[in-house]
């Protein structure tokens, strides 16, 4: 009872700043009128606790985007962790007011999660989200430490290579499992590390040879010397195109596979391109969605915003709301037979796991 009360209270708190008359009076409000006025606030729902990458990026956008929205409303961050981002996504889709007053950076993996039916607790349809922009995206990298015996993708097909992971169901397991099942690599996944920082330390100590997956931009933010100084060696990158700084690292979609397996590579490549998707609720009025998209595009050209992003080592690689909407739909609308094959390919074989 107490838990439900807290959730209901949070919903009221988030909805309250934009409470307005119902019916035709609300419908006739201009964008300027809706977002302006003393004390008007928007909310940025953040899917993690404070301090992580999603939190830092969400707060960065929250600090700046209001200056470019007609009426210049303030934006207040609200952390809503749980379920790998599913709690925040379900809130946005089912509870938050459908009026363009609440934004969120959704979890990167939710589009493929929905397509593959991996999480029954995720009740939403991302095709109905009013997408504002992809704030940033970059390729997923499987890397090995420079001390590892395996230094190329071809060598990973010839010898067993130990890969640190966080555990079943995580992307750090799914990517190496997919490579084993589709490309013929021999990665041995070591379960149980709490997070990426612990896997990085395990590589340095020689406990494991590599890390299952991590975005290029995350390495450049958290470990900016590792890739340029070849402390870690990327064996393969997954995305739509190669990272400009990694022209010699093989791209998943370029790998030679039987024709019937090519759609599996395409699915994984599209899924990796969903970086940090920013959206508001389904049903938000079209003129407000347009204003929010325009505000985002103005924000990313603003020198003050870019200085703030650079100060926090954040690489902004935008994708428009229209482009993001198409990408999400392409993933979710993948034919059922391909989705089933991808789902099986993401599951590691028993012999490929160390618990």
Sheet holding 140-145, edge to edge: 232-238, 140-145, 210-215, 161-164, 187-190, 353-354
- Report helix angle 303-311 to 53-64, nearest 10: 160
Question: Are the C-beta atoms of residues 171 and 315 closer than 8 Å to each other?
Answer: no
- Token code pair at residue 231: 């402390």
Domains and CATH numbers, the chain: 2-137+274-336 (3.40.190.150), 140-271 (3.40.190.10)
- pLDDT tens for each residue of the chain, 355 residues long: 444 434 433 444 444 455 444 444 445 689 999 999 777 899 999 988 887 778 889 999 999 999 999 999 999 999 998 887 889 999 999 999 999 999 999 988 899 989 999 888 888 899 999 999 999 989 999 999 999 999 999 999 999 999 999 876 678 889 999 999 999 999 999 998 888 889 999 999 999 999 999 889 888 877 889 999 999 999 999 999 999 999 999 999 999 999 999 999 999 999 999 989 999 999 999 999 999 999 999 999 999 999 999 998 888 989 999 999 999 999 999 999 999 999 999 999 989 989 8
User: What does the pLDDT read at residue 27?
Assistant: 54
Question: Are the C-beta atoms of residues 219 and 226 closer than 8 Å to each other?
Answer: yes
User: What does the pLDDT read at residue 8?
Assistant: 39
Single pTM value for the model: 0.81
Q: Which helix (H) or strand (E) holds 27?
A: helix 24-27
User: What does the pLDDT read at residue 192?
Assistant: 83
User: What does the pLDDT read at residue 22?
Assistant: 44
Which letter does DSSP use for residue 152 in this model? S
Report the half-sphere exposure of 284 (CA within 13 A, side-chain side): 27
E-assigned strand segments in the chain? 41-46, 74-79, 102-105, 130-134, 140-145, 161-164, 187-190, 210-215, 232-238, 277-280, 319-320, 353-354
Q: Which residues contact 216 (CB under 8 A, 6 or more apart)?
A: 138, 139, 140, 141, 227, 237, 243, 245, 246
User: What does the pLDDT read at residue 259?
Assistant: 97
User: What does the pLDDT read at residue 6?
Assistant: 42
Place of tokens 């409000």: 29
Which letter does DSSP use for residue 107 in this model? -
* Cα–Cα dist 98/27, whole Å: 12
User: What does the pLDDT read at residue 59?
Assistant: 95
Sheet holding 277-280, edge to edge: 74-79, 41-46, 102-105, 277-280, 130-134, 319-320
* Cα–Cα dist 230/180, whole Å: 24
User: What does the pLDDT read at residue 218?
Assistant: 81
Question: Are the C-beta atoms of residues 153 and 235 closer than 8 Å to each other?
Answer: yes
Q: Which residues contact 32 (CB under 8 A, 6 or more apart)?
A: 70, 71
CA distances from 332 to 5, 115, 116, 166, 267 (A): 34, 5, 8, 26, 10
User: What does the pLDDT read at residue 170?
Assistant: 76
In terms of Cβ atoms closer than 10 Å to its own Cβ (0-12, 13-18, 19+), residue 6 is exposed
CA distances from 172 to 44, 235, 257, 325, 347 (A): 28, 14, 22, 26, 12
CA distances from 33 to 30, 211, 288 (A): 5, 50, 11
Question: Are the C-beta atoms of residues 78 and 92 closer than 8 Å to each other?
Answer: no
* Cα–Cα dist 254/139, whole Å: 14
């Amino acid at each position: 009872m107490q838990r439900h009360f807290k959730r209901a209270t949070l919903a009221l708190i988030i909805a309250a700043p934009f409470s307005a008359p119902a019916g035709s009076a609300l419908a006739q409000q201009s964008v300027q009128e809706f977002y302006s006025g003393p004390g008007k606030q928007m909310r940025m729902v953040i899917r993690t606790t404070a301090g992580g990458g999603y939190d830092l990026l969400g707060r960065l956008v929250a600090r700046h985007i209001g200056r470019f929205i007609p009426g210049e409303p303030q934006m207040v961050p609200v952390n809503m962790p749980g379920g790998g981002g599913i709690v925040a996504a379900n809130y946005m889709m089912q509870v938050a007011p459908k009026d363009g007053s609440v934004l969120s950076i959704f979890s990167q993996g939710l589009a493929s999660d929905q397509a593959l039916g991996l999480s029954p607790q995720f009740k939403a349809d991302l095709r109905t989200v009013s997408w504002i922009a992809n704030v940033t995206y970059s390729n997923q990298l499987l890397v090995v430490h420079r001390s590892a015996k395996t230094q190329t993708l071809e060598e990973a097909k010839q010898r067993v290579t130990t890969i640190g992971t966080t555990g079943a169901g995580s992307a750090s397991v799914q990517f190496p499992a997919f490579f084993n099942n589709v490309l013929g690599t021999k990665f041995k996944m070591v379960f149980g590390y709490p997070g990426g920082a612990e896997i990085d330390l395990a590589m340095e100590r020689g406990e494991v040879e590599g890390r299952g997956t991590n975005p290029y931009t995350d390495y450049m933010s958290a470990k900016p010397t590792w890739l340029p100084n070849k402390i870690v060696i990327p064996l393969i990158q997954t995305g739509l195109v190669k990272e400009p700084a990694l022209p010699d690292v093989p791209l998943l979609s370029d790998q030679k596979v039987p024709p019937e397996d090519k759609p599996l590579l395409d699915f994984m490549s599209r899924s990796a391109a969903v970086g940090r998707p920013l959206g508001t609720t389904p049903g938000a009025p079209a003129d407000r969605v347009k204003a929010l998209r325009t505000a985002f595009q103005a924000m990313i050209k603003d020198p003050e915003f870019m200085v703030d992003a650079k100060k926090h080592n954040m690489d902004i690689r935008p994708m428009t709301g229209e482009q993001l909407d198409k990408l999400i739909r392409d993933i979710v609308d993948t034919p059922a037979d391909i989705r089933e094959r991808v789902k099986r390919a993401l599951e590691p074989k028993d012999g490929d796991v160390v618990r």
